[in-house]
A = this chain, B = another copy of it.
Amino acid sequence: MSTATVVKISAGQQEAQGLGDPSELGQQAWRALLRAQACMAKRLDAELERAHRLPMSSFEVLHHLARSPGGRMRMCDLAEQAQLSRSGLTRLVDRLEREGLLERCSCQHDARGAYACLTAGGRIRMEEARRTQLTVVTEHFSSRFSAQELSELAAMAERIAPCSGA
């Protein structure tokens, strides 16, 4: 910022500096969220990887399977829940299957479809990892807000990406 701008600060210049402009407020909030999310994701991913050899995307898949009835889900639904493309999920499931954490099962009513089914070992590994996840999310996220704030945060997030289920 050149020294000249300091001389006189009109409303117009304030806008140019992004102090009074309402759209700038949105930008600041958006960038702050970007930073916060990247920061959290890196911490969580690193810790899950370190403690359980599970990247965050694998954890997410196991998590969604574990809370689904019977520990199984259709590939396409799982892809959507896990925020992955179908091919991305196919490959992730390949890896998890190789590790014995889940299995592919064919679908009775629709031979096109496939289920991903959590194995017993997968469920155990998942529950171990969940403790770590809870610790990290609590320490770096939940504990920094009141219950009221957490509710508000969730509600605000819903306005951006409405939750399909639940």
Residues of A bordering B, CB below 8 Å? 1-2, 22-23, 25-30, 32-41, 69, 83, 134, 137-138, 140-145, 147, 149-154, 156-161, 163
A48 to chain B, nearest CB (A): 14
Q: Given that A27-B137, A69-B1, A142-B30 are known contacts, is A39 also in contact with B161, CB under 8 Å in the complex?
A: yes
Chain B residues positioned under 8 Å from A83 (CB to CB): 34-35, 38
Contact A29 B69 (CB under 8 A): no
Contact A36 B142 (CB under 8 A): no
Contact B35 A161 (CB under 8 A): yes
Contact B158 A30 (CB under 8 A): no
Contact A30 B137 (CB under 8 A): yes
Chain B residues positioned under 8 Å from A137 (CB to CB): 26-27, 30
Which residue in B25, B41, B69, B153 is a CB contact (below 8 Å) of A2?
Answer: B69
A15 to chain B, nearest CB (A): 14
Q: In the assembly, what is the distance between CA of A73 and CA of B62, in Å?
A: 41
Chain B residues positioned under 8 Å from A69 (CB to CB): 1-2
A124 to chain B, nearest CB (A): 19
Contact B23 A153 (CB under 8 A): no
A139 to chain B, nearest CB (A): 10
